[in-house]
Amino acid sequence: MEALLISPRLTFQKGDFLGSGVPYWPVELAVTASFLQNRGYKVKVADLFGEDPKNLEERRDHFLQGVSFSSWFKKQQDLTPDVIIIFAISYMSHQEILDIA
């Protein structure tokens, strides 16, 4: 069995340079990966922020930092996961998660 765990891009509001764009370690995602590996799953992690933290995409009232899921997915070969888990760190990620799903 294969599992794909997705950590979405970092989302932060325009004009809020002190609070909404703080990168947090996706600890829950790491724990989930370990749990699945211990049960025999082959685990692949898509760290969309970590792939290119200097890449910014401007949206209406916010920025997305990292690479899009579609651009990450295009580079993958033979990816056929049985399980897909998307990590949601905050409400700010809501639209990004809907775009991935």
Residue whose tokens read 């409400």: 91
The pLDDT value given to residue 40: 97
Name the strand (E) or helix (H) holding 33: helix 27-38
Per the structure, the complete domain to which residue 89 belongs is given by 2-100
Domain count along the chain: 1
How do the pLDDT tens digits run along the chain, 101 residues long?
999 999 888 887 777 766 655 667 788 889 999 999 999 999 999 998 888 989 998 888 888 889 988 888 888 888 899 999 988 776 667 677 777 77
Number of Cβ atoms within 10 Å of the Cβ of 14:
12
Q: Which amino acid is at 10?
A: L
Map tokens 């932060």 to a residue. Answer: 12
How far, in Å, CA of 31 to CA of 35, rounded?
A: 6
pTM of the full predicted structure? 0.81
Neighbours of 43 (CB within 10 A): 18
